[in-house]
Structure 1
Amino acid sequence: MDQGQALIKMRLGDQEIYEEVLQEMLPALYRLAYGITQDSMEAQDAVQDALVSMVRRLGDFQERSSLATWLYRITVNASLDKLRSRRRRGETIPIEEFLPLFTEEGRYAQEVVDWSDAPLERLLSSEAAERIRQAIASLPEEQRVVLVMKDVEDFSLSEISRTLELSLPAVKSRLHRARLALRGVLASYFKERRGSAVTSPKKVKKHKHTCRELVELLCDYLEGDLPQEEKEELDRHMRECPPCMAFLNTYKKTSQICKSLRPEDIPQEMIKRLEAFLQSSKSPSR
């Protein structure tokens, strides 16, 4: 059944269609809400609020986007409402101090430790996971949402752009800054428990980009959005600059670790709760 037919049936109050939508989309909606709120009960409440909003506003849906994109957008907004209502500031850590620092020449002002080859069990330890959850909870809202959608839930950049109604450059900018902050948190954590820093060669070769400029291009580099000539230049830079190669390795690993934070199971009480809600919605279009 196509979207148009589904919408007609939903507006007529067809209970089976609502149940199909719930079955198909609930896991993704819950994971998205959980990633943003970092709290199971608040995620459940956010998803229910999103479904209430869907039922009440279905008559206003103009199909400029897909039903799924619209539901994701409503869920993001409901999740952010939960965040704004609590603001438990004592649970956050200062993110700014974990962003990379550079000298006036564009070189690293701090040591770069390559912890990307640490054993997987250490990278995914409960302590490390808790540090990164705290870091995600400390991110500004706009960065947190994009990071969760891309690196936890594996949305494409174009899907995120459509859902949040942002330009692709804006999505990439928010994602990149969030990754930099989380990478810094993990770098601090593993530096306390791991070996020495990667050092720059004594004789620095001249490159088109400074290390600072290379770091700013990493999101485009990993997404394959750089012109081939520029990508090759960055590859050469990283081969000849161990700190930049270490930074790339840990930047990529940070993105991979985020996926481990994805909740596997939806609480059964949530499924029952939402099924009861949909069954009580006799007139969805009102």
Structure 2
Amino acid sequence: MAKQTPDELFETQFLPHLDALYRAALSMTRNPQDADDLVQDTFLRAFQFIDKFQVGTNARAWLFRILTNLFINRYRRAKREPEKTSYDEMEDFFLYNRLQDAYVSGKSDTPEAAVLNKVQAEAIHEAIGNLPDEYRETVILADVNELSYLEISEILEVPIGTVRSRLSRGRRLVQRALWAFTEENPR
């Protein structure tokens, strides 16, 4: 029997297992798009390392091992990464702008009075406590402990620019949480 080219080997040994790999990926990810990506990455990895495949061994098992390893690595990476949130849609001064709107519409005397009347210390602590870890650490160090950007940068071992962006995003998330609190707890 003549030796197969990588393309022929891929077509004869690997492609027949496409449906089974997709079903397994779908049961692992519970999301059709993620399953498609996982299968695609599996086949890409298999093609990249086709020279490592020993003809005559179980191609299906080899592909499932690749699929499983890729899934495990993604799961581990996802657990290490902070929750992803789109901050592009977040408005600067969210809380202040909502309070200013209330002032303009005659619902409060001043924005500051509205804050003092509606926001309780417990709500602030809860809003900060519910922040993702990296934002919570930064907000607590800056706004509660009043540390400088440089000090926070050294404590967290991140660049000052990262401190600034985390603090900005964290404050915006706190503002949104406080606004939600004021909406849910009118006086």
State TM-score, norm by structure 1.
0.27
State TM-score, norm by structure 2.
0.39
**Would you tell me which structure has more helix in proportion to its own residues?**
2
Structure scoring higher RCO (CA < 8 A, sep ≥ 6) equals 1
